[in-house]
Homo-oligomer: A and B are copies of this chain.
Amino acid sequence: MSDYVEGKTRWWGWGDLDQRFDVENRENIMPFLRENLGMPLDTERFTDPDLEEVGLPEPRLSGKTLEELREICGPENVSTGKFQRVSHSMGKSYRDLLRYRQRLIRRPVDVVVWPREEVEIVEILRLAERENLAVIPFGGGSSVTGGVEPMGEKEGYISLDMARMNRVLRVDATSHTALIQAGALGPEIEEQLNAHGFTLGHFPESFDHSSLGGWLATRASGRQSTGYGDIEDMVLALRMVTPRGVVDTRRVPSSAAGPSILQLCVGSEGYMGVITEALMRIRPLPEVLDYRGLIFRNFAAGVSAIREMMQQGLVPTCVRLSDRTETALAQAFRSTKGPRWKRKAEDAALRFLARRGYSFDDGAFMVLGLEGSADEVDYLRPLILRICRQLGGFHLGTGPGRQWYRSRHETAYFREQLINWGVMVDTLETATTWDNLLHLYGEVRSAIRSALSEWGDKNLVACHVSHAYREGASLYYTFFAPMAAEGREEEQWEKVKRAASEAIMEHGGTISHHHGVGYEHAPWMNREVGEVSIRALQAVKMAVDPADIMNPGKLLPRG
């Protein structure tokens, strides 16, 4: 029926039910968190919800409207079932996960539809406009900004799930492009491209549970974006169905024919239309995946190393640098599985490093990934490692790099457990230029810590630099704290979020580097792009969607 399958999908949280975070083989993580959060972490504040416990009003759509939807998409592609409606009514933000556990669906969608082709989307939009219904495009549902949740005052809400439109329509091995339907999820795209010897190179943390359309609509970045580019760099052209017709941008590598309509659609978050397919740049599958770890004595030295490699044109595919707290956290997350001699060897290595002034309690851990032809990687590796060495970086070899690579999609599952234990855990991110990076890093960190301190003196605020450019990089924060008292959880989170967002705006960051806007970031858009730009975007919205049926309430600040 859909990517979301009852009994398989963890509708109240991340991913599939058969996947969970392997805490048993990470002996250090629980003691580390207990100490730093001052919590026993042994009792469940929340339990995983059962669908039957969730209250949900009847769908507000008339029988006639539902019948029309069934005629358009086929009866098997329209659902008012509880599982589909509940799972499509929110995304995966901390707030969403909290509300699911509180068995609380404040704004449910009324129906979920799975169009099979573009023409069905055109008809759904026509019907929606006639009946004053909202249409919310839905890819993988992994939004952490409220992007798929009903907002506003429409007569009803249609979740338009793109899961049926998941094919790679054409691979052009001459031009290194692929025409891909917007509903294709990460693994579906890679599987189809890999068969032709290609990759898209877009691997966000949400890779398994997010779609091309979602990536484009939110200007996403994959973890290998430093080498492969952000999604907005990977797209050559796209089609987007609006209530006033189809936008179809020219399929050329570059054009000077006026303002970029393409880049107006990228980032439009379903607010102007439904992206249906895109012509994407693809790359030959890399011969080599070379992931390594390094440790720096401090964050600033590691930041300088990233800046140097980027500005010398020695661009890695992936580079991430953790600050002191995240380095300690990553060390605590380390797998302790395996024979006793292995752990003894690791301990010896740590003592060796300590004698040289490197510590995982007070250092900065870097993951460095090179992907490409053997020649390319062989050329880049020594030059990049030399820069790191010159800035005091100690090369730890491929072990820590491979470990990061293997487990890079796992930690998202740990959040489920932490929330159940009563831990507030969330992430937020921004970007700035190198000259401002350490300043912004400190200011946002202070703002988060200061906001958290109102609720207790124990917390963790970790950060890493990633998604590097010649001119700057993104900063990605994860924070953990004991949840506020029952009923005040959202208030606690909102205060932290607001403080961080204020600091980002005040100190020259962007409100989001790759999570997007949704409704969580919409209040900051005025300061982000200014009033004239807001008016311009509103004008585009009115031109293509005068009845405001497309994902209302998102992207732009309200009135």
Chain A residues within CB distance 8 Å of chain B: 172, 174-177, 218-221, 230, 232, 236, 242, 244-261, 263-269, 281, 283-284, 307, 311-313, 372-373, 375-376, 379, 383, 430-436, 467, 469-474, 508-517, 521, 524-525, 528-533, 535-540, 542-544, 555-556
Q: Is the CB of A509 within 8 A of B252?
A: yes
**A525 touching B268 by the CB < 8 A rule?**
no
- Contact call B257/A434, Cβ cutoff below 8 A: no
Residue of A230, A383, A472 with most chain B CB atoms under a 10 A cut-off:
A472
Most chain B CB inside 10 Å of its own CB: which residue of A218, A220, A250, A511: A250
Residues in B with CB closer than 8 Å to A514 are 256
**Quick one: given A249-B529, A249-B533, are A433 and B177 in contact (CB under 8 Å)?**
yes
The reply to whether A431 and B259 contact each other, CB–CB distance below 8 Å, is: no
Are the C-beta atoms of A529 and B267 separated by less than 8 Å? no
Complex Cα–Cα for A547 and B470 (A): 41
Which chain B residue has the least Cβ–Cβ distance from A468?
Answer: B253
Nearest B residue to A379 via CB reads: B379
Name the contact of A467 in the complex, choosing from B254, B467, B472 (C-beta under 8 A): B254
- Is the Cβ of B261 less than 8 Å from the Cβ of A531? no
Q: Which residue of B lies closest to A245 (CB)?
A: B532
Number of copies: 2
Residues of B contacting A258 with CB < 8 Å? 219, 267-269, 517, 525, 528-529, 537, 555-556
With contacts A220-B256, A256-B517, A521-B257 taken as known, whether A528 is within 8 angstroms of B284 at the C-beta atoms is no
Are A536's CB and B540's CB within 8 A?
yes
A312 contacts which chain B residues (CB < 8 A)?
373
Question: Are A244 and B532 interface neighbours, CB within 8 A?
Answer: yes
Most buried by B among A219, A510, A533: A533
Chain B contacts of A244 at CB under 8 A?
532, 535
CA distance in complex: A453, B432 (Å): 56
A176 near B470: Cβ-Cβ < 8 Å: yes
A279 shortest CB reach to chain B, Å: 9
Q: How far is the CA of A471 from the CA of B236 in the complex (A)?
A: 9
Contact of A251 among B256, B433, B511, B517 (CB under 8 A): B433
B175 engages A264 (CB within 8 Å)? no
Residue of B nearest to A436 (CB): B175
A-B contact pairs, 22 of them (CB 8 A): A174-B433, A175-B471, A176-B471, A219-B255, A220-B256, A221-B256, A236-B433, A236-B471, A250-B510, A253-B469, A256-B267, A256-B512, A256-B515, A258-B517, A258-B525, A259-B267, A261-B536, A375-B383, A532-B544, A535-B544, A539-B539, A539-B540
